[in-house]
Structure 1
Amino acid sequence: MRPISCRIAAPLLGSVLMLGSGTGWALEDRVVVMTSYPDELVQRYEQAFERANPGTDLQILWKPSRDAAVELAKPDQGGIDVYWTPSLGSFPRMRDAGAFRPLAVDRAVLPGVVDGQFVSDRQGFFEAFEVAGYGLIVNPAALARDGLPQPATWRDLAATRWRGRLALPIAGQVGFSGALYDILLQAEGWEAGWALLGEAAADATLIGSGGQVSESVVNGEADVAVTVDFFARSAIANGHPVALVYPPRTAFLPAQVAITRGALHPDAARAFVDFVLSAPGQALLFHPDIRRYPVRPAVYAQAPAGTINPFQRTGAESYTYDMEAGLGRHGLIASLFEKLIAERHDRLKALWGAIHAAEAALAAKPDPERAVLVARARLLAGFVPVAGGDVDRLAPTFQERRSNRNPEERAALQKDWSARVDAAQAEALDLARRALPTP
């Protein structure tokens, strides 16, 4: 076992955990950490932790988040001491299943709130380790060449005719899309947000792979795409002529860390969590091979030039994103995106093309009667078959879309949605065409 004197390493690193009865005792000879982080991040933390805690071996079990719950549901929790991964939904579910032990955190150095929103567990069973923001990746030079404005808000996605130069992820196929679209929908309002998405999607390319969404801007296939920021930040760091834009109303969502209820190496587990949340551990996130945002505000004094500080973001609007409410809506959002947008993409192009043509004609020659038709067409084109007040009631039905839970109810709802969406869009197209001037 390690000499007792070595145990002072964690406090010297800038401890944030209010350590319990294990403090002052030698650490165990190992700590088992389950994660889905990539090797370039894990290896740097492994090396740094073992240097700070000689005699304690950090053992990594790599598991995708979909398999983590199975591991932690075993009688011995798979021998796992720490769960450390970028998987928003898994932490609340596992907390509610009793998988974690509580953490006591020093909020003077680790506030648990970023950009006005909670990123750590209010019940204290898991803690944010780093955050990623959601926004737009753009090619400023290409936009200028084509005479297109650089978007600054979510609403700008529908305010400009992008002529196919906008890329959007397909909800349900791209991992970050559920959170991204929920952020937009909470920021803009449920009904208004879906209308915005439908209008934007009509002039967009839909992409089913997360990395390819940002890559489409990097390789010149698109000029604008919605994304999670680490894709854009990586492209910028690699010299690509792209820029990252955070809308005034967006969110920074966390990756988290927790100690398992049955940890076999509890002191080493606390030392690992303390390390990744310490000043040196958080500063590692600035490394060129990692490029993530720390959750410890003080370390931004060490940030590379040009790093955005989410704790002091300029241009941000007051907007408190409800992360835990949003987690339960991802399946519903994916199902609605499929019915409203993905399955009817060609129809959306024709519909919004007719509305835009009618609006252009009205701008050139105002006509009050035609204006009423266009306004009604626009309202119907943005129709969503689930009212905002029904979202949280219906969301559990779609929370596990690939499971066998409630298949008949889901199928009946989707059939009803399709019929109502078809009727609304057909009427909208008819009205838009009637609003066009007679040749």
Structure 2
Amino acid sequence: MKPSRLAVRSAPGGGGGRPWTSIAGLVAGLLALALALLPRPLAAQDAGAPAGAPAGPPTIVLTSYPEPFAQAVAAAYSRAHPGEELRFLHKSTHAIIEHVTSERLPRADVVWTSSPIAIAELARARLLARPERAGEAATSRPEPSAPRLHAFAYSQLGIMWRPDLVHAKGLPVPTDLQSLLAPDYAGMVAMSAPARSGTTLLFVELVLQSLGWDAGWAYLQQLAGNLATVTARSFGVPEGLAHGRFPVGIGVGFLARTQQTNGEQLAFLAAPEDVMLPAGVAALSTARHAQGARRFVGFLQGEAGQALLADPQVARIPLAAARQATPFEDRFDYLLASTRRDVVVALFDQLVTYQLDEHRRFWRRWREVGAMVSGEGNAAREARALLGQAYRRATGVPVRAFMAHDPALVRVFSPGGPERLENRAFRERLMESWHRETRERLAEAGALVEQAQRRMAAAVAVSPAQQ
């Protein structure tokens, strides 16, 4: 949990006093700790409202957005609603879902996130109140999906890069996601982990649903061979680009547009180009300050909030600009993504995040041997067949598509609920088996590559004319 600039200190222990003194001190300490754990307020007067403005009940906003963005919105909101108090509780998308579904304290009034998967999941659990104005979606569909119903802005996923570094390293400019698999990009690409970033989970699901389950995981594992790193948060990709740690990254467009290096903005290519993803804001059905929650939602969906999106430091796509976009839910199943979220996150870690070195070694060798294979003779055909087997072995996935959203498996990986303790040991064994199977598959695939190399070498030794 990361409340805005909140410092929590533990009280020193004590003993030896009278019992009633110890109990009173304990109660006082627990009360102080409970107050300290509340998210830090961004009060109206702190954000530019007149001093002495009447203070109402605070509206607690649970958000995945970084603090600078939240403060910019708080300042604009306080000008429109002087005297009202907003409190932001900053968490990752996955932590937001768990916070709401597990009814953790402090109880939030509003959820504000860039992940439509999170909005779909919370709506499915009937935890979101229907907004008084349904964004732009109500005019485009008779029954809009939850992410469009609760939209306040849109964003695009794709490739970001530093033009100066790409030029300095002699790299081709990325043209699409497939281009990132080229040998030129080995060790040059970064992305964040879907376990810690809702937008990266969205990217992974976009790949899986666009290419299909098996082909999607094949793409992700081949991409792993070119990854320089998997960052802890989505913000780590543009920050790493800014510091020159890698030249190319995968992420969301507004992070690229708000990151500058030596006065130059990062380049960004939306991929797929026509996909716009709704970012959401919604009052919770369990909100204690429902009136304040509705006002905050109305502000972001209204004229003042939409005008704020055009600020270069905000750089989101307003609702009006997305009205002509094809509804993404026509091609993307948010509920499917929500249902199998925890399974996909666990699979990605075991197949990609924790296997980067193995993938780098295998795919480098696979390309090297592939470049040696030429001609149409028996040796070349056999070598290509072996390389094809190696590719299929290296890109396998230990879970079938239908299993990923099976209720029994979903329960095992659900972070909440009464089954958590009972399932922990089984979940750990299952993830360990995925990790071990992936490493064994890559080792077997590597052996097939070496067979292909030896087959070509033997053919060349027998017939030098083939060189």
TM range, smaller chain: 0.7 to 0.9
Counting only pairs closer than 5 Å after superposition, residues 392-407 of structure 1 correspond to structure 2 as: 392-393=405-406, 394-400=409-415, 404=421, 406-407=423-424
Aligned to 2:216: 193
Counting only pairs closer than 5 Å after superposition, residues 200-239 of structure 1 correspond to structure 2 as: 200-210=223-233, 211-236=235-260, 239=263
Q: Which has the higher contact order (CA 8 A, sep 6+)?
A: 1
Q: Distance in 1 between matches of 2:353 and 2:342?
A: 15
Residue 448 of structure 2 is aligned to residue 431 of structure 1: yes
Give the superposition deviation at 1:284. Answer: 0.8
Give the superposition deviation at 1:283. Answer: 1.5
Aligned to 1:7: none
Aligned partner letter, 1:151: P
Q: Which of the two has higher C-alpha Rg?
A: 2
Distance 1:214 1:80, change over 3 A: closer
Q: Distance in 1 between matches of 2:145 and 2:260?
A: 26
Distance 1:236 1:335, change over 3 A: same
Residue 309 of structure 2 is aligned to residue 282 of structure 1: no
**Preserved contact between residue 158 and residue 197 of structure 1 (Cα < 8 Å):** no
**Preserved contact between residue 82 and residue 269 of structure 1 (Cα < 8 Å):** yes
| Structure 1 gaps, min length 5 | 1-27, 301-308
**Preserved contact between residue 59 and residue 292 of structure 2 (Cα < 8 Å):** no
Aligned partner letter, 1:354: R
Aligned partner letter, 2:248: V
Give the superposition deviation at 1:137. Answer: 0.8
Aligned partner letter, 1:101: A
Aligned to 1:361: 372
Aligned to 2:353: 342
Aligned to 1:20: none
Q: Distance in 2 between matches of 1:337 and 1:386?
A: 12
Counting only pairs closer than 5 Å after superposition, residues 141-220 of structure 1 correspond to structure 2 as: 141-174=164-197, 176-210=199-233, 211-220=235-244
**Preserved contact between residue 121 and residue 335 of structure 2 (Cα < 8 Å):** no
Aligned partner letter, 2:112: W
Q: Distance in 1 between matches of 2:357 and 2:56?
A: 60
- Match for 1:62 among 89, 102, 108? 89
CA shift digits 1:198-255 (9 cap, x unpaired): 2221232123332222233223222211112222111249733530111126854443
Give the superposition deviation at 1:404. Answer: 3.5
**Preserved contact between residue 119 and residue 146 of structure 2 (Cα < 8 Å):** no
Aligned to 2:12: none
| Structure 2 gaps, min length 5 | 1-54, 462-467
**Preserved contact between residue 115 and residue 280 of structure 2 (Cα < 8 Å):** yes
Distance 1:144 1:81, change over 3 A: closer
- Indicate the percent of aligned positions where both proteins have the same amino acid: 25
Aligned to 1:374: 387
**Preserved contact between residue 114 and residue 278 of structure 2 (Cα < 8 Å):** yes
Distance 1:415 1:365, change over 3 A: same
Q: Distance in 1 between matches of 2:346 and 2:447?
A: 26
TM-score scaled by length of structure 2:
0.71
Q: Secondary structure at the match of 1:136?
A: strand
Q: Which ranges of 4 or more aligned residues in structure 1 deviate by more than 6 Å?
A: 71-75, 316-319
Residue 102 of structure 2 is aligned to residue 102 of structure 1: no
Let me know the Cα RMSD of the aligned residues.
Answer: 3.9
Q: Secondary structure at the match of 2:373?
A: helix
CA shift digits 1:55-78 (9 cap, x unpaired): x62433535363686578769x96
**Preserved contact between residue 251 and residue 321 of structure 1 (Cα < 8 Å):** no
Aligned partner letter, 2:382: E
Q: Distance in 1 between matches of 2:203 and 2:74?
A: 31
TM-score scaled by length of structure 1:
0.75
Aligned partner letter, 1:188: L
Give the superposition deviation at 1:311. Answer: 4.6
Q: Secondary structure at the match of 1:406?
A: helix
Residue 146 of structure 2 is aligned to residue 120 of structure 1: yes
Of stretches 371-380 and 34-43 in structure 1, the one that deviates more from structure 2 is: 34-43
Aligned partner letter, 1:255: A
Of stretches 222-231 and 157-166 in structure 1, the one that deviates more from structure 2 is: 157-166
Q: Secondary structure at the match of 1:155?
A: helix
Aligned to 1:326: 337
Residue-pair matches, total:
392
Aligned to 1:240: 264
Aligned partner letter, 1:150: V
Residue 431 of structure 2 is aligned to residue 410 of structure 1: no
Q: Distance in 1 between matches of 2:328 and 2:70?
A: 34
Q: Distance in 1 between matches of 2:194 and 2:125?
A: 27
Distance 1:79 1:232, change over 3 A: closer
Distance 1:317 1:289, change over 3 A: closer
**Preserved contact between residue 86 and residue 255 of structure 1 (Cα < 8 Å):** yes
